[in-house]
Chain A
Amino acid sequence: MADGLTPSQTIGPFYWGSLVSGYRADLAPAGVAGERIELALTLYDADGAVVPDGLIEIWQANSHGRYNHPEDRRNLPLDTGFEGFGRASADTSGTARFATVRPGRVPWPEGGLQAPHINISIFARGVLNRLATRLYFEGDPALATDPVLKLVDPARRSTLLATCDAAGVWCLPIHLGGDRETVFFDC
């Protein structure tokens, strides 16, 4: 049977039981090192309508820039209780919310460091393949030299930049299509 990959299919509108019990919108219990932040990711379709039935997952390094994974062999601290994975469903306004810590910087394979970022997976009815993107923090001085942003058309880089609202929440609109289509990655 293993003559190729298992093909991707849409998550559909009714993901529920198992996935709901796996929800983890607050990634950082008390005591985890780093600056606590809140994220609000809002999904829009190509016509600008909110997508109220999407599922968003995030994956990130801890505040020291260390991933909780065996491939990250660097001698940096791991925080007890911080895995770096979050999952939340969009609400009726298309927004999925997370509480976490601001990630540290992780290396670029050819040398140097990447700007702090959060890796994002998007699933929804009508989305046949997982859409992968990233969240960066507007105003971060490391953005200017980030090697991933350099791969992106300058006119579209802002689609990856979260902005901090009056309440201190980092907000990122994610457009699945249309004029402001978000940059998605093939990784």
Chain B
Amino acid sequence: MAHDLYRRTPPGQHPPNRFDGYKSTASRSPTRPAVVLPQTLSEITGPLRRDERLGAQENDLTRQRMGEPLGERIVVHGRVVDEAGRPVPNALVEIWQCNAAGRYHHPGDQHDAPLDPNFYGGGRARADDNGAYRFVTIKPGAYPWGNHKNAWRPAHIHFSLFGPAFATRLITQMYFPNDPLLAYDPIYNSVPERARHRLQAAFDMDGTQPEWALAYEFDIVLRGRNATPMENGHG
């Protein structure tokens, strides 16, 4: 019997591929069921990107240009863990976001809001041995996106994680607590209701830096390993 190294994900954790409120999913979602593949070496290995050398300022998005970007400076930190709460050490965390005015430093973004020459909006951090990562950035603005009448994305930061294997790859978005736009956002609401709160960072008063920056905490939970037969044997 094949034994999968990583736990199969039960329903109710992720959005469906097609979500009617999010228009682009209509033509970009497979309709046939995915073929269930036993986890082979191809799925339980994956890019660890340990050779990726990060620049000193890559996790501080406020210091990548000549001057300081406009907006509310924030610290975003948390831990990358698996389903059992075990850290995913040395994980590479990649983020990207729009500026405080709601505009991406991207040629495709035509939103009529100012670009900030001091804000590029991309960053990377390496989690430590306990899975802890930390970014300094500015709070992203809301922006309109044309999905429906008066559609605005709630403020969010895009996150990309590899975890230990091809099977654990995840791209997600972090939202801010108490944002009134969350209730209207089909991308956020595509996630089953019970799981949505996991996309919201927690305001972190203890982590705020006096006279300098508010802090938000965002833990990321990746797929974890099945118990091995030996672990079962030991209860």
Which A residues fall within an 8 A CB radius of B?
1-22, 45-47, 49, 51, 53, 57, 59, 61, 67-69, 71-72, 83-85, 106-110, 114, 117, 119, 121, 123-132, 134, 148, 151-152, 156, 176-177, 181-187
Q: A9-B15, A128-B17, A128-B25 are in contact. Are A3 and B45 (CB under 8 A)?
A: no
Asked if A187 and B37 make an inter-chain contact with CB atoms under 8 angstroms apart, the answer reads yes
Asked if A11 and B171 make an inter-chain contact with CB atoms under 8 angstroms apart, the answer reads yes
Complex Cα spacing A51 to B199, Å: 27
Task: Tell me which of B32, B192, B202, B220 has the highest count of chain A C-beta atoms within 10 A of its own C-beta.
Answer: B32
Asked if A16 and B85 make an inter-chain contact with CB atoms under 8 angstroms apart, the answer reads no
Asked if B169 and A130 make an inter-chain contact with CB atoms under 8 angstroms apart, the answer reads yes
Interface of A (DSSP majority class): loop
Asked if B171 and A8 make an inter-chain contact with CB atoms under 8 angstroms apart, the answer reads yes
Asked if A128 and B22 make an inter-chain contact with CB atoms under 8 angstroms apart, the answer reads yes
Q: A128-B16, A184-B35 are in contact. Are A5 and B104 (CB under 8 A)?
A: no
Q: A7-B195, A119-B166 are in contact. Are A18 and B160 (CB under 8 A)?
A: yes
CB distance from A160 to the nearest CB of B (A): 10
| Residue in A59, A68, A186 whose beta carbon sits within 8 Å of that of B36 in the complex | A186
Asked if B173 and A9 make an inter-chain contact with CB atoms under 8 angstroms apart, the answer reads yes
**With A45-B27, A110-B2 already in contact, 5 other A-B pairs whose C-beta atoms are closer than 8 Å:** A16-B105, A17-B105, A17-B120, A21-B124, A126-B29
CB distance from A98 to the nearest CB of B (A): 14
Q: Check if B68 is an interface residue, CB within 8 A of chain A.
A: no
Which B residues fall within an 8 A CB radius of A?
2-3, 5, 9, 13-17, 19, 22-32, 34-49, 51-52, 58, 81, 83, 85, 94-96, 98, 104-106, 108-109, 120-124, 158, 160, 165-167, 169-173, 187-188, 190-192, 194-196, 198-199, 202, 219-223
CB distance from B226 to the nearest CB of A (A): 14
CB distance from B189 to the nearest CB of A (A): 11
Which residue of chain B has the shortest Cβ distance to A152 in the bound complex?
B35
Q: A5-B9, A128-B190 are in contact. Are A181 and B27 (CB under 8 A)?
A: no
Asked if B122 and A18 make an inter-chain contact with CB atoms under 8 angstroms apart, the answer reads yes
Complex Cα spacing A53 to B166, Å: 22
CB distance from B85 to the nearest CB of A (A): 5
CB distance from B103 to the nearest CB of A (A): 10
| Residue in A8, A46, A49 whose beta carbon sits within 8 Å of that of B15 in the complex | A8
- Residues of chain B contacted by A134 (CB below 8 angstroms): 42
CB distance from B119 to the nearest CB of A (A): 10
Asked if A128 and B15 make an inter-chain contact with CB atoms under 8 angstroms apart, the answer reads yes
Q: A6-B199, A128-B25, A128-B190 are in contact. Are A18 and B15 (CB under 8 A)?
A: no
Which residue of chain A has the shortest Cβ distance to B61 in the bound complex?
A17
Which residue of chain B has the shortest Cβ distance to A7 in the bound complex?
B191
Asked if B96 and A129 make an inter-chain contact with CB atoms under 8 angstroms apart, the answer reads no
- Residues of chain A contacted by B5 (CB below 8 angstroms): 71
Complex Cα spacing A121 to B46, Å: 11
- Residues of chain A contacted by B3 (CB below 8 angstroms): 109
State the 7 A-B residue pairs at the shortest beta-carbon distance, nearest first: A17-B122, A126-B24, A85-B47, A69-B45, A126-B28, A18-B122, A186-B34
Asked if A182 and B37 make an inter-chain contact with CB atoms under 8 angstroms apart, the answer reads no
